[in-house]
Amino acid sequence: MSIDPETLALIMFATLFVTLFLGHPLAFSLGAVATLFGLIGWGGSADVVLALFANKTYGVMEEYVLVAVPLFIFMAQMLDASGVAEKLFHTMHVLWGPIRGGLGIAVIMVCTIFAASTGVVGATEVAIGLLAGPALLKRHYSIPLTAGCICAGGTLGIIIPPSIMLVVYGGLVGMSVGKLFAAAFFPGLLLACMYMIYIAVRCGIQPELGPPLPKEERIYSAGQILLMVLTSLVPPLFLIGMVLGSIVAGVATTTEAAGLGAFGSIILAAGYRKLTWFAIEDAAVATLKVTSMVLILFLGGNAFQSIFMGLGGGDAISQMLLGLEVSPYVVLFIMMGCVFFLGMFIDWLGILLIVLPIFTPIAAELGFNPLWFATLICVNLQMAFLTPPFGYSLFYLRGIAPPEMTMTMIYRGVVPFICLQWAGLFACIFIPEVVLWLPRVLFGD
């Protein structure tokens, strides 16, 4: 009995989930499922399937903007080695510590600045977790609130430019990365502000969750605080301005700006007297590992995409969603719900590789602004780092957390921040200017 291609494509999608639930790595699951169903769909012709894979692989190799990925990752690793996070947290600790929940607010502020300097969640999460976790718990902050602050703050690195996810998104759909950076800037700041307001209000109502620093720890003069701000805050802000400013001004492409940022991070490490051969070697090795992981996922995802779309899976899902006699916004929320659900089980790169070929044409058919829709997907994917059971940020933190910070407490701590992320997503949906105002000002209509 023959199976029509659309049904075969949907079985292919279901098979991918089975392999993931069995614990197989995503990249190899994508490639293996693609090979199997490619052979079935094309009558066992290995030549056709392998030629298609080779063509897709060559397409990835030709994508110039992806050169920015290892450069931004190297920049993040060098900034981590330079001690920027440590200096920033100490300064924000002194500035915000005297108010209720001040250390939690300081965590979000440091994560926001560090996110705008690195664009990598893992580097931010681990660096801030090691610094802030013990400091907050020592001052009797609530364990769930501490966990929620660190996890949610760390995820800002995936949405606030220069974000690796935005670079990858632009490369996948052929969209201007500079415009994506501009579109994601205010949504990222909006989320950061929502986190800080929540912490301030929550600790204002329940002071025992985040008590202020005792008076005996407030030992710095105004001059000392100003010096700390100048030495810890100004250099990373200058680096951020150099990278993003060169893109917005049209002086450099995204890849060139990434190279500028990587060089700037080396200069910053030298300025903080942390530039050693071992620091450069560790940063280079870490960059190699992360870049290899990203590109292997790219190859597996491209193989899966090509077979799935070739079998008509994308057309089948498009016809199903576009055939619903409902408002376009209902279809939008269905797509957002699918992305959120996938985020519970798959990392952001796998989700992009799977859903973009399907959802991007649907969004265009519904008349949605492509830049606005891209930003909604990226804001949604920030939640993938926090949503149990497989949120990466949860495991990053658990790996470095003290024994009293159990996985249950981490889960409890992130729930309010997931709700805030949904609120931020709704704001971007119903107030499109949050996304579109800055790109229009910088790049025109």
Instruction: Report pLDDT digits (tens) over 155-179.
Output: 888 888 888 888 888 888 888 888 9
- Eight-class DSSP state of 212: P
Spatial distance between the Cα atoms of 439 and 445, rounded to a whole number of angstroms: 8
Average pLDDT, integer, range 308-325: 78
Average pLDDT, integer, range 207-222: 76
108, two tokens: 């979000």
Answer whether residue 146 shows pLDDT above 80: yes
Peptide bond into 389 cis (omega under 30): yes
Average pLDDT, integer, range 49-72: 78
- Eight-class DSSP state of 211: P
Task: Give percent of the chain with pLDDT exceeding 90.
Answer: 18
Q: How far is CA 171 from CA 100, 175, 242, 436, in A?
A: 43, 7, 22, 20
pLDDT tens digits for range 88-115: 777 877 787 788 888 888 889 888 887 7
pLDDT of residue 123: 67
Spatial distance between the Cα atoms of 26 and 340, rounded to a whole number of angstroms: 17
Is 141 within 8 Å of 210 (Cβ atoms)? yes
Q: In whole angstroms, how large is the CA radius of gyration of the chain?
A: 22
- Residue carrying structure tokens 């699951």: 29
Least confident of 25-39, 220-234, 248-262, 284-298: 220-234
Average pLDDT, the chain: 83
Residue 216 pLDDT level (bands cut at 50, 70, 90): low
Is 321 within 8 Å of 273 (Cβ atoms)? no
Answer whether residue 138 shows pLDDT above 60: yes
pLDDT of residue 217: 65
> Distance from first CA to last CA of the chain, Å, rounded?
53
Is 302 within 8 Å of 59 (Cβ atoms)? yes
Neighbours of 267 (CB within 10 A): 14
pLDDT of residue 269: 87
Residue 6 pLDDT level (bands cut at 50, 70, 90): low
pLDDT of residue 433: 94
pLDDT tens digits for range 71-92: 888 887 887 777 777 777 778 7
pLDDT of residue 28: 85
The more confidently predicted of residues 371 and 21 is: 371
Q: How far is CA 285 from CA 73, 85, 298, in A?
A: 11, 21, 20
Is 106 within 8 Å of 123 (Cβ atoms)? no
- By three-state DSSP, how is residue 418 classified? helix
Is 16 within 8 Å of 304 (Cβ atoms)? yes
The more confidently predicted of residues 143 and 290 is: 143
Question: Which amino acid is it at 126?
Answer: V
Q: How far is CA 245 from CA 120, 188, 253, 269, in A?
A: 19, 17, 11, 21
**Top-confidence range, 49-53, 178-182, 369-373, 387-391:** 369-373
291, two tokens: 């870049």
Answer whether residue 2 shows pLDDT above 60: no
Average pLDDT, integer, range 233-249: 82
> Nearest to residue 79, comparing CAs of 256, 219, 287, 291?
287
pLDDT of residue 1: 45
